[in-house]
Chains A and B, each alone.
Chain A
Amino acid sequence: MRIVAAAVLAVTIAAPASAQDRQWPERTWVSINGGIQSAGTAFDDAFEVPLYTESERVTVQYPVKGGGLFGAHAGYRIWKRLTIGAGVTRYSRRADAQVQAQLPHPFFDNQFRAVEGTASALRGETAANVLIGWMQPVSDRVRVILTAGPSFINVEQTIVTAVEVAETYPYDTAAFTTASTRREGRTGTGFNAGADVTWMFTRHLGAGGIVQITRARARLAAGNDRTITVDAGGVQAGAGIRFFF
């Protein structure tokens, strides 16, 4: 959020009063960016599985690391400098989920065996952003577009569903071998806000950078009527080419 605010402030400072009257004759803009998305909000999961007449207790910590981002935005000036448009971003990154489990003993009650390990978990986010923008020419070559609007973020997440262990007689200890996982996806609704700064090379072509924040909350189905609530989105920063026509 701070980055976005700073960008807006920079645009405001960079735009002298005389520039307010500069013209922006093109109606349509397109930007294509590559960049990064910041680390997201880590989340935990805990569930129980019936085992040996008791319950195996499993907890999983899922980190959400920053990763590569690809995005495309487009808009159309509908009135004066007000623009509406849409954008799509795609982010994905693998990270090791920390898995811990307390397994009941097959012979004795209340005698749990602790195991822990990791499971490679993919986090993917595809965001569809509605962009309501204000186009602000700063100079003849520099243009700024401030945007905000609702976002629809489809979250894909690898979810740990079971812990596989190796155990041999006398079963007083067990060793983590792997975790069973499945890919789960849900779409959450949120918002976006950002600023795009373009340096025009020609009348129709430029290069620029974008800073944007997106946020949405999704409820992933984790089986057995259990859901995991995850926060999607984050701060996105990228750069790419711009087309105006």
Chain B
Amino acid sequence: MTASRRTSVLACIAAALGVAFGPAPSAQGPRAPGRLTTFAAGSPQDLRQWDPLADAMLRSGELRVRQVRDDTQFPGRRVERADQYYRGVRVFGGDISRQMDEHGVVLSMFGNVYTGIGIAPNPAVTADAVKATINQLASLEQGPNNAPELVVLPIDDGASFRLAWRMRAVTDRMDIVQYFLDAESGSLLRQYSDLQTQSSVGRGTGVLGDSKKISVSGAAGNFTARDLLRPPLVETDDMKGDPIRTNDYLNGRVALGATDIAADSDNNWTDGAVTDAHVYSGFTYDYYFKRFGRRGLDNNNIRIRNLVNPVRRTPQDVALYLTSFPDFFVNAFYAGGGIMVYGVGLPPGFTSGGQSWNHLSGAIDVVAHELTHGVTDFSSGLIYRNESGALNEAFSDMMGTSVEFFFQPAGSGDLKADYLCGEDVVKPGGLRSMENPQAYGDPDHYSRRFLGTADNGGVHINSGIANHAFYLAIEGGTNRTSGLAVQGVGAANREQIERVFYRAFTQMLPSNATFALARAATLQAARDLFGANSNAERAVTQAWTAVGVE
């Protein structure tokens, strides 16, 4: 960041403070030109500029602390996240993350803050009216606990702003959609799928048949898939092929009870979907704890609940439900609140895209991928569209692959660790490659990024750019587009890169992060963890440069 640009941004922030302290503008009055201010302050010089402004915004209420968590990688340190508010209304995508030492001294700070908002925070449309509209849009009546939130919605990266009602709703098509309705007119301003998925379409065959331990509870004759050995409750529910009940649960219409918990009479579990979802989610918790000291998705041991068998893996159910509930077959997704849903795949003989699909819970990287969406949800909250959405997906791929390498030997084939995603259950080849994204039609370079609106702005596509950077930082190699070579830290030191990306993605990135911010944050994390000019910093720098992110 240059000095002149910093000065310019400071002026914008100051202007924002002035607006905040000034008189409320008229709802009909002219709107001030908005601006998105992004800051990545890692040096003392940058912090001297930014930290006083952040403090001033915290005192004025323009920033409100949402979360304070211990930095599990540095005892004594903590991470503070604060959301931007404009006259008492949260600004969607405006937030900062500050890393502080044990004395409260800010060490680094990353964030996105919008200035020049200048709108009246008084909605003309009531929350009840909004909910009724969203019930119609979702074709499904939302449960009583699902209520809309009034937000300031930046338009075009903060060029203008609208007061909006935001609501995350489950639809009759088994999607989870973020709706934004204009708070003045009630019209739909924006919607996008917030279903944080591992993949999409098609697959088949059964579970891999490997034997493993499963931590359950109960006694002879009545064992249930409730892991009581790990700090959080890890529970796996068998939806017994009932998509309506599954959907109703996700929608808040029904609650799951004791009879929904997967059970077995002799503690010899033969349902592969139950076993793998339960065991691999436990493994993922173990990985996060052992590698980073993190305690579960929210770092506070929130319950992990797996839903398996949402439909039956039969040709009959394919005919009945594939159109209505495609994600119950050929997808896995994080549904919020520590809940994961794993599709059953496709019956033997069925393929999608030339690939067979097994139970999605049969792949450890898929399970870890979905749980990582939960980690993201409770930390950076990367918004699931455009670049932040691609980073959200990429981080899940990175951690999914890292978990795979943590528990499985490197190699190719079933139950071996590699840089393919979902290869154990989607055959042949899996869903994505971190080593060679282009082989799956995904970009390996920022210049090739997808700029369309499909896939929430290419969240599963552009993730290839960050995925490849992660791969190069570990293994090294040459980017196929730029031709730039990277000296990785080596597979034996993969932990370094895992820690760097974990730190950056969970403790530094704001919710509306960009690839450029991800680069800055990972470099800061590398310096934090391994020092300036360390091998890790060099590898991460070269990797981002090789994939065209500066």
Interface of A toward B, CB cutoff 8 Å: 52-53, 106-109, 169-171
Contacts of A108 in B (CB 8 A): 213
Among candidates A52, A107, A109, A169, residue contacting B231 with C-beta atoms closer than 8 Å: A169
Among candidates A53, A169, A170, residue contacting B213 with C-beta atoms closer than 8 Å: A53
Contacts of A52 in B (CB 8 A): 213
Please report the C-alpha to C-alpha distance between residue A142 and residue B213 in the assembled complex, in whole angstroms. 76
6 A-B pairs with the lowest CB-CB distances in the bound complex, closest first: A106-B229, A169-B231, A107-B213, A170-B286, A53-B213, A169-B230
B290 at the interface (CB under 8 A from A): yes
Interface members, chain B 276-297 (any A CB < 8 Å): 282-283, 286, 289-290
Contacts of B230 in A (CB 8 A): 169
Please report the C-alpha to C-alpha distance between residue A192 and residue B23 in the assembled complex, in whole angstroms. 110
Do the beta carbons of A106 and B215 come within 8 Å of each other? yes
Interface members, chain B 195-240 (any A CB < 8 Å): 211-213, 215, 229-231
Please report the C-alpha to C-alpha distance between residue A52 and residue B267 in the assembled complex, in whole angstroms. 11
Q: Which residue of B lies closest to A111 (CB)?
A: B213
Min CB distance, A56 to chain B, in Å?
14
Contacts of B231 in A (CB 8 A): 169
Please report the C-alpha to C-alpha distance between residue A73 and residue B230 in the assembled complex, in whole angstroms. 64
Contacts of B283 in A (CB 8 A): 107
Q: Which residue of B lies closest to A104 (CB)?
A: B213
Do the beta carbons of B282 and A107 come within 8 Å of each other? yes
Contacts of A170 in B (CB 8 A): 286, 289-290
Do the beta carbons of A109 and B286 come within 8 Å of each other? no
Give the number of A-B contacts (CB < 8 Å): 23
Q: Which residue of A lies closest to B279 (CB)?
A: A107
Residues of A contacting B: mostly: loop
Do the beta carbons of B229 and A169 come within 8 Å of each other? yes
Q: Which residue of A lies closest to B289 (CB)?
A: A170
Do the beta carbons of B212 and A109 come within 8 Å of each other? yes
Please report the C-alpha to C-alpha distance between residue A109 and residue B212 in the assembled complex, in whole angstroms. 7
Q: Which residue of A lies closest to B230 (CB)?
A: A169
Min CB distance, B209 to chain A, in Å?
15
Q: Which residue of B lies closest to A53 (CB)?
A: B213
Min CB distance, B406 to chain A, in Å?
12
Among candidates B213, B289, B290, residue contacting A109 with C-beta atoms closer than 8 Å: B213
Please report the C-alpha to C-alpha distance between residue A52 and residue B290 in the assembled complex, in whole angstroms. 21
Min CB distance, A104 to chain B, in Å?
9
Contacts of A107 in B (CB 8 A): 213, 215, 229, 282-283, 286
Contacts of B282 in A (CB 8 A): 107
Contacts of B290 in A (CB 8 A): 170
Contacts of B289 in A (CB 8 A): 169-170
| A106-B286 contact, Cβ under 8 Å, with A169-B229, A169-B230 | no
Contacts of B229 in A (CB 8 A): 106-107, 169, 171
A-B contact pairs, 23 of them (CB 8 A): A52-B213, A53-B213, A106-B213, A106-B215, A106-B229, A107-B213, A107-B215, A107-B229, A107-B282, A107-B283, A107-B286, A108-B213, A109-B211, A109-B212, A109-B213, A169-B229, A169-B230, A169-B231, A169-B289, A170-B286, A170-B289, A170-B290, A171-B229
Min CB distance, B182 to chain A, in Å?
49
Please report the C-alpha to C-alpha distance between residue A52 and residue B214 in the assembled complex, in whole angstroms. 9
Min CB distance, A105 to chain B, in Å?
8
Interface members, chain B 503-533 (any A CB < 8 Å): none
Interface members, chain B 243-298 (any A CB < 8 Å): 282-283, 286, 289-290
Contacts of A106 in B (CB 8 A): 213, 215, 229
Contacts of B215 in A (CB 8 A): 106-107
Contacts of B212 in A (CB 8 A): 109
Q: Which residue of A lies closest to B286 (CB)?
A: A170
Please report the C-alpha to C-alpha distance between residue A52 and residue B283 in the assembled complex, in whole angstroms. 16
Please report the C-alpha to C-alpha distance between residue A53 and residue B223 in the assembled complex, in whole angstroms. 14
Please report the C-alpha to C-alpha distance between residue A106 and residue B290 in the assembled complex, in whole angstroms. 16
Min CB distance, B159 to chain A, in Å?
49
Please report the C-alpha to C-alpha distance between residue A210 and residue B107 in the assembled complex, in whole angstroms. 83
Residue among A53, A107, A169, A170 with max Cβ neighbours from chain B (10 Å): A107
Please report the C-alpha to C-alpha distance between residue A24 and residue B211 in the assembled complex, in whole angstroms. 82
Contacts of B211 in A (CB 8 A): 109
Contacts of B213 in A (CB 8 A): 52-53, 106-109
Please report the C-alpha to C-alpha distance between residue A107 and residue B227 in the assembled complex, in whole angstroms. 11
Please report the C-alpha to C-alpha distance between residue A109 and residue B230 in the assembled complex, in whole angstroms. 17
Min CB distance, B37 to chain A, in Å?
42
Min CB distance, A173 to chain B, in Å?
12
Please report the C-alpha to C-alpha distance between residue A24 and residue B231 in the assembled complex, in whole angstroms. 83
Min CB distance, A195 to chain B, in Å?
62
Please report the C-alpha to C-alpha distance between residue A53 and residue B286 in the assembled complex, in whole angstroms. 20
Min CB distance, B238 to chain A, in Å?
21
